Amino acid sequence: MWSSSGLDYKRKTPKTLFPEGIFYDAKNHEYLTRKINVFLLITIRPSNMV
């Protein structure tokens, strides 16, 4: 789905998951985010933490 999607979709999807954007730390070669969408936090939480 991602590879066949247009540029508009590819710009909106990361903003949905990471509302404050994604940043790249060139010094440490890491992608960083300040805030993650609540739904994403719930879905990636291990089941024993619910």
Report pLDDT digits (tens) over 11-30. Answer: 888 877 788 888 899 999 99
Tokens at 47, concatenated: 């089941």
| Amino acid at the residue 31 | Y
Total structural domains within the chain:
1
Q: Does 27 reside within a domain?
A: yes
41 within some domain = yes
Element containing residue 7 per DSSP (H, E): helix 7-17
| 2 part of a folded domain | no
> Is residue 13 in some structural domain?
yes
User: b vs e for 11-38, b when ≥16 Cβ sit within 10 Å of the residue's Cβ?
Assistant: eeeeeeebeeeeeeeeeeeeeeeeeeee
- pLDDT-above-90 percentage for the chain: 14
Q: Kindly state whether residue 1 falls inside one of the protein's structural domains.
A: no
Reported residue count of the chain is: 50
Query: Considering the entire predicted model, what is its pTM?
Result: 0.46
